[in-house]
């Protein structure tokens, strides 16, 4: 090991002896498969967070009785850093992600963390592993902060100890469709979340519960499930890996955050841009029937999802109870394209960042 380095917030750095970067095919990036050389770690014990450390990415030990393995007490975030030029990297909206991370922590009975450490951990990881940030348009360094319960105890109660880690991964497009339209289906068999549950937190278990319905949707030829509300089974919620938007006439309709939908950071960015461009913007409850009716009347112009991993993802087909809405299945709609272009232009530093969304890191 090289000598340890201490940063402003006292993050101890233990650099790798040898980089693994030669293992990565930057021309063929699979989402979340390869991980950069370093990771951040901090332990919560005795009612306080301990010393932060950045060390080589590596497997770690846990006992079979570790709380998270049994009760799933864990939260995570997903954010991205973008290559701008050889001296500059942009992290997209880290404060918004950090705030949501803490909201998720509160819901899942996990101790909150400090922004100073979060942002310094991100900056330090990016500086150390800047060569892992892919350069091509459409690629980025995906950043995954997460916290899990680490008590070695089978009692079903909140853990007293937690582990906080941040890992990073060079990524390309999330869906195999890339920026081509994806297909969605509703399900009347399963629900994702209900108000009062954990759906608006980025809780690990929310995703585990969606894997079976997602697998069934995939087997039927759809990319993902379009979730309806758990109570009446008629209001559109989200897709699980992204939020959803409908362009009806000249109005952008986005399902309102009613307590069971994840408040997406890209969702907020799309809404802010639509307002800036003078579109009518409505955040409200919208039923699947209204979407089908709008389509029948020829008013449904576009449907698209938004998310960190998915960015802006056009929807070409929606299946619901034996009926289909078919939109352009070959290429994104004009508005989705405009949102994608503007958001990615800001992320890669090609457009002015009027909203103050990017956090610049000089390398």
Q: Does residue number 309 form part of the binding site for ligand COI (CB under 6 A)?
A: yes
Give me the sign of the Cα torsion angle 189, 268, 138, 324. Answer: positive
Candidate segments 67-75, 110-118, 228-236, 306-314, binder of ligand COI by CB under 6 A: 306-314
Distances (CA, A) of 120 to 127, 148, 157: 10, 21, 32
Does 124 interact with ligand COI (rule: CB under 6 A)? no
By beta carbon distance, the residue nearest ligand COI is: 78
Which residue number, 139 or 308, has a Cβ lying nearer to ligand COI? 308
Site mask for ligand COI (CB under 6 A), range 185-224, x = bound: ----------------------x-----------------
Q: Is 336 in the site for ligand COI (CB under 6 A)?
A: no
| Tokens 């897709």 belong to residue | 239
Exposure pattern of 313-332 as b/e (b: 16+ CB <10 Å)? bbbbbbbbeeeebebbeeeb
CA distances from 180 to 174, 176, 223, 323 (A): 11, 9, 12, 22
Among 67, 124, 185, 241, binds ligand COI (CB under 6 A): 241
Minimum Å gap between C-beta 330 and ligand COI is 25
The yes or no reply on residue 145 touching ligand COI (CB under 6 A) is no
Neighbouring residues of 64: CB distance < 8 A, sequence distance ≥ 6: none
- Of 78, 94, 181, 213, the one binding ligand COI (CB under 6 A) is 78
Determine if 311 is a binding residue for ligand COI (CB under 6 A). no
Choose, by CB under 6 A, the member of 73, 198, 308, 347 that binds ligand COI: 308
What is the contact surface with ligand COI in residues (CB under 6 A)?
78, 207, 241, 307-309
């Amino acid at each position: 090991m090289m000598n340890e380095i201490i940063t402003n917030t006292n993050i101890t750095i233990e650099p790798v002896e040898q980089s693994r970067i030669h293992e990565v095919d930057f021309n063929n990036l699979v989402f979340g498969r390869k991980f950069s050389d370093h990771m951040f770690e901090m332990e919560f014990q005795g009612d306080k967070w301990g010393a932060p450390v950045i060390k080589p990415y590596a497997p770690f030990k846990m006992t079979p009785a570790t709380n998270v393995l049994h009760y799933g007490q864990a939260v995570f975030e997903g954010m991205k850093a973008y290559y701008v030029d050889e001296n500059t990297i942009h992290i997209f909206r880290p404060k918004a992600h950090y705030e949501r991370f803490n909201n998720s922590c509160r819901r899942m009975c996990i101790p909150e963390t400090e922004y100073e450490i979060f942002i310094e951990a991100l900056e330090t990881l990016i500086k150390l592993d800047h060569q892992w940030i892919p350069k091509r348009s459409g690629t980025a360094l995906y950043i995954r902060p997460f916290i899990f319960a680490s008590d070695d105890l089978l009692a079903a109660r909140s853990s007293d100890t937690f582990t906080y880690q941040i890992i990073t991964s060079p990524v390309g497009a999330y869906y195999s469709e890339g920026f081509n339209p994806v297909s969605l289906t509703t399900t009347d068999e399963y629900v994702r979340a209900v108000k009062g549950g954990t759906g608006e937190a980025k809780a690990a278990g929310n995703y585990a519960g969606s894997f079976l319905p997602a697998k069934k949707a995939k087997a039927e030829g759809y990319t993902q499930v379009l979730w309806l509300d758990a109570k009446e089974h008629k209001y559109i919620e989200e897709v699980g890996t992204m939020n959803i938007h409908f362009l009806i006439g000249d109005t952008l309709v986005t399902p309102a955050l009613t307590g069971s939908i994840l408040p997406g950071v890209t969702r907020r960015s799309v809404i802010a841009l639509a307002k800036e461009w003078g579109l009518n913007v409505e955040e409200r409850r919208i039923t699947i029937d209204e979407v089908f009716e709008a389509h029948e009347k020829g008013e449904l112009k576009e449907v698209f999802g938004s998310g960190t991993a998915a960015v802006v993802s056009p929807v070409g087909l929606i299946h619901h109870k034996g009926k289909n809405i078919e939109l352009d299945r070959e290429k994104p709609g004009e508005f989705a394209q405009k949102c994608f272009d503007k958001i990615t232009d800001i992320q890669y530093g090609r457009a002015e960042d009027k909203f103050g969304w990017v956090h610049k890191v000089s390398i």
